[in-house]
A and B are shown apart, each in its own frame.
Chain A
């Protein structure tokens, strides 16, 4: 009993500490990446290569005055950033960082919440993300906030549809909801060197899911929740100091969690990268280490892709965004699902 409690606590701390610890680094990479693409220097004064800049920002957030305007709905105004962060953290509970390992005389699963409905659970809780935003917009009692929240919500729910159709297609192909089985199914090779990742079975679903991540986490080119010239900062307009920082963190953690889900479905999850087999076969513990490293490398590539897209594509107009979601991506997702199902059925006949 004590052993189990220690195991749960240890897993929880590690799973929470990894993304939260990586957060300053990600923000730094984003700012330096932006500077790199715009031919300027970016933050480079605080510490070596400016690496301590995010920590300085955190300290600044802590010591800023907490403005609590008089016109807000106090309880929900305070609760909204908490809801946003908690909901962003929840999907991480069922994302495994490595395969199951035999240790201390039993099988240990390196995820907090072991479930054979892992994918289902992750999407159920990550879809709650719009609650924090809507609550913030409504509680702020400000026209800009309300409009920003409505926009963000309408956008998130619209793109969730095409994202869900691609998930259904993948669940149908794998025939399972269990993340470990999904990763196992993607572990082989074609012709000895092409990994059997989901993206090669379902390129259209992968594309839909990728677009969906950008819309779900309100990243450029889909960051219509904010707009300097129209609604200023959108739903977090009335928030300051650490309350604003919680929304900021929630956005990045949502991004990490959705990237991890994308990698699980389409890029082999924690499966080791090609070329690591020789090293991995030496010991199960080394294999586990390589799996964690592989997952981190894959997520890092995704984060860099986010930065890259942010400074490459221009923003959409709101009606273009909604038309793309409802009139292009949703039919494409449903057509992809129907073709996949019929193809699998007739191939097995």
Chain B
């Protein structure tokens, strides 16, 4: 029942954005010139392809995000389960152990200058 309502919401949101997208292709003026179909590169002729190599830092950031985000996703059910458990000392010990591992990883990342953007 709950998911049905979400599906309805999703379908209506999709329809809405599709309709909005369709409006301007229906109503918009049609006057094609060759120059405006070109790649926009501040008015000069484009140089090379857009799928060139970009800074590796972007990809390093993405990979590190995955690692840290997975750790945080593990913490969410832990935070929910804490109140219902009887052995809270064990939960806290597990949390501290987990955080120490996270900290070691974090210190390694910072020391290896993986996130230094200056140079």
**Residues in chain A within 8 A of chain B (CB atoms):** 4, 8-9, 11-13, 15-16, 61-71, 78, 81-82, 85-86, 89-90, 93, 112-115, 120, 140-147, 150-151, 153-154, 157-158, 160-161, 164-165, 167-169, 171-172, 175-177, 232, 237-238, 241-243, 245-246, 318-319, 322-323, 326-327, 330-331, 334, 337-338, 341-342, 345, 348
Chain B interface residue count, Cβ-Cβ cutoff 8 angstroms: 64
Most A-side CB within 10 Å, residue of B13, B16, B38: B13
Report the separation of the CA atoms of residues A64 and B115 in the bound assembly, to the nearest whole angstrom: 42
Q: Which residues of B contact A13 (CB under 8 A)?
A: 12
Interface residue SS majority, chain A: helix
Question: CB distance A142 to B79 under 8 Å?
Answer: no
- The answer, among A16, A69, A176, for a CB contact under 8 Å with B12, is A16
Q: Does B10 contact A (CB under 8 A)?
A: yes
Question: CB distance B95 to A11 under 8 Å?
Answer: no
Report the separation of the CA atoms of residues A11 and B110 in the bound assembly, to the nearest whole angstrom: 48
Question: CB distance A143 to B50 under 8 Å?
Answer: yes
Q: Does B104 contact A (CB under 8 A)?
A: no
Question: CB distance B20 to A242 under 8 Å?
Answer: yes
Q: Which residues of B contact A342 (CB under 8 A)?
A: 92
Other A-B pairs beyond A89-B17, A241-B28, 8, CB < 8 Å: A82-B17, A113-B9, A144-B41, A146-B51, A150-B58, A157-B69, A161-B65, A171-B76
**Residues in chain B within 8 A of chain A (CB atoms):** 1-6, 8-10, 12-14, 16-18, 20-21, 23-25, 27-31, 36-42, 50-52, 54-55, 57-58, 61-62, 65, 68-69, 72, 75-76, 79-80, 82-83, 88, 92, 95-96, 99, 102-103, 106, 110, 115-118
Q: Which residues of A contact B50 (CB under 8 A)?
A: 140-143, 145-146
Closest Cβ of chain A to B80, distance in Å, is: 6
Question: CB distance A334 to B99 under 8 Å?
Answer: yes
A142-B40, A338-B99 known; A323-B115 Cβ under 8 A? yes
Closest Cβ of chain B to A298, distance in Å, is: 23
Q: Which residues of B contact A157 (CB under 8 A)?
A: 61-62, 65, 69
